[in-house]
A and B are shown apart, each in its own frame.
Chain A
Amino acid sequence: DIQMTQSPSTLSASVGDRVTITCRASQSISSWLAWYQQKPGKAPKLLIYKASSLESGVPSRFSGSGSGTEFTLTISSLQPDDFATYYCQHYNSYPWTFGQGTKVEIK
């Protein structure tokens, strides 16, 4: 199985900060990577697909990059609505696996 490792596990930041979350795959997944945002008690929401494509309706302050085994999710200017947990997920092969999550907290 492909292991997905996110860092950091927790991130404290202020409104307006630029935030970067890293996701590493244990083997190459090409660009078959998605990023999701999840708020407490809610379902995950797709933000980024195919490593760098922005899902419709998602604010442009979110961006994704990377290929192979190293990927990043960047929020260019953190907004109050962005405090949540973020997960990466590969869909290169089965079983699909998620990273352990990165919680973005208010500093």
Chain B
Amino acid sequence: EVQLVESGGGLVQPGGSLRLSCAASGFTVSSNYMSWVRQAPGKGLEWVSLIYNDGKTLYADSVKGRFTISRDSSKNTLSLQMNSLRAEDTAVYYCARVNWGRGMDVWGQGTTVTVSS
């Protein structure tokens, strides 16, 4: 079964760091484009970052320079390193597989990040 499972969310103080992980099963992360999308409480969806199968990375302006997307082929996982966290980064973070030309066709269940003192 094709599945994504996120972990690593939690409560962090402003200025702190957190690393999210997304474990894939049923397909190979490094052979696909993968993305992170977030949703602030009661708000809509916001695209955060994408990694191509060749390793090229892209970021939304709101997180550029603070967040880093990466993958571990040996563990078949996707990660999001989040530094210099702000209150406005509080959200549920979803990882998703990008089926090129079709959109994001497989999503994880989400992990909650709360940035607060």
Binding site for B on A (CB under 8 A): 34, 36, 38, 42-46, 49-50, 53, 55, 87, 89, 91, 94-101
Q: How many residues of B contact A (CB 8 A)?
A: 20
Residue of B nearest to A56 (CB): B105
**Contact status B47-A49, CB under 8 Å:** no
Point out the residue from A45, A46, A97 that lies within 8 Å of B47, measured CB to CB.
A97
Residue of A nearest to B99 (CB): A49
Q: Which of B11-19, B23-31, B77-85, B106-114 contacts A (4 or more CB under 8 A)?
A: B106-114
Binding site for A on B (CB under 8 A): 37, 44-47, 50, 58, 60-61, 94, 99, 101-105, 107-110
**Contact status B44-A99, CB under 8 Å:** yes
**Contact status A87-B44, CB under 8 Å:** yes
Q: What are 19 sample pairs from A and B whose C-beta atoms fall under 8 A apart?
A: A36-B104, A42-B109, A43-B94, A43-B108, A44-B37, A44-B45, A44-B94, A44-B107, A46-B102, A49-B103, A55-B105, A87-B45, A89-B103, A94-B50, A98-B44, A98-B46, A99-B44, A100-B44, A101-B45
Kindly state the separation between the CA atoms of A94 and B59 in the bound complex, as whole angstroms.
9
CB contacts between A and B, total, < 8 Å: 57
A34 to chain B, nearest CB (A): 3
Given A43-B108, A49-B105, 12 extra CB contacts under 8 A: A36-B104, A42-B109, A43-B94, A43-B109, A49-B102, A94-B58, A95-B58, A95-B61, A96-B50, A98-B46, A98-B47, A100-B44
